[in-house]
Amino acid sequence: MREILGRRRRLLSRRNDGRPEMLSAALTFATDWQWPVLPGVAPDPQGRARCGCPDPECTVPGAHPFDPGLLAATTDERMVRWWWTNRPSAPIVLATGGRAPCAVSLPALAAARALDALDRTGMRLGPVVAAPTRWAILVAPYSMEQLGELLYAKDFVPGSLRFHGEGGYIALPPSETGQGQIRWERAPLPGSAAPWVPDVEAVVDAVVEALTRTGVSAPEL
């Protein structure tokens, strides 16, 4: 019975194409969507809330690059296969910016409320990545100059908003990090083409309005 259960778990960890789930997801991001990815550092096996990197105070355990560094992110199929064949459970880290999506993230509770508010306005959103403590709304690539002008024009921007642009990164589903499972709150539509993502201006305008509206709060986290 133990052998049968073990075999079932192995089968459940694979997609229909026979590849392990993490490798399959990484290949979809890199080769189908042309998003540069790399493996993240694993959580510390002696305590999953801790990170496997040398920093004992790491604030994103298992959800950041370490070895290799962020500059190694690639869309090359052979490199992606090699990484996740040798590290099959490694988190998938997206290097944001350039030709890849950027992201705007905020605390999970505030994000859930903001998304509800945006849905009521009929705003179209692309994929939304949900970690246990923060959600990230994927947006079209932007420059630091573009972001600076956007924020400067606003009277108030909640300090809990974080911007993941050129030189930044986020962990992608179905990664398991020290803080828990990464999942899609808004999943990309099925298909081989890269998902549509909105412009950063539209997202920031809508999120700031939603967060400053009565009844919607964004703690400074």
Domains of the chain: total: 1
Read off the pLDDT band of 13 (50, 70, 90).
Answer: very low
Q: How far apart are CA 139 and CA 128, in angstroms?
A: 9
The lowest-confidence range among 56-60, 159-163, 200-204 is 56-60
Domain-located, residue 12: no
Quick: pLDDT tens for 15-53.
Answer: 444 458 999 999 999 999 999 999 998 766 665 567 777
Cα 169 to its chain centre, rounded Å, is: 8
Which of 127, 123, 119 has its CA nearest to residue 190?
127
Give the pair of three-digit tokens for residue 94.
């997206």
Which of 148, 95, 100 has its CA nearest to residue 126?
100
Domain-located, residue 86: yes
- CB 24, CB 49: distance < 8 Å: no
Domain-located, residue 90: yes
* One-character DSSP codes across 118-143: HHHHT-----EEE-SSEEEEEE----
Domain-located, residue 7: no
Residue 4 has pLDDT above 90, yes or no: no
Domain-located, residue 63: yes
Residues of the domain holding 177? 18-214
Longest pairwise C-alpha distance within the chain = 64
pLDDT, mean of residues 65-86: 93
Residue 60 has pLDDT above 60, yes or no: yes
Instruction: Tell me the whole-structure pTM to 2 decimals.
Output: 0.84
Domain-located, residue 82: yes
Which of 125, 131, 108 has its CA nearest to residue 217?
108
The lowest-confidence range among 77-86, 90-99, 115-124, 136-145 is 115-124
E-strand stretches of the chain: 37-39, 92-95, 102-107, 128-130, 134-139, 162-164, 169-172, 176-177, 180-181, 183-186
Give the pair of three-digit tokens for residue 179.
């803080």
Domain-located, residue 5: no
Question: What pLDDT does 58 receive?
Answer: 77
Q: At what angle do helices 144-152 and 200-212 cross, to 10 degrees?
A: 30
Domain-located, residue 50: yes
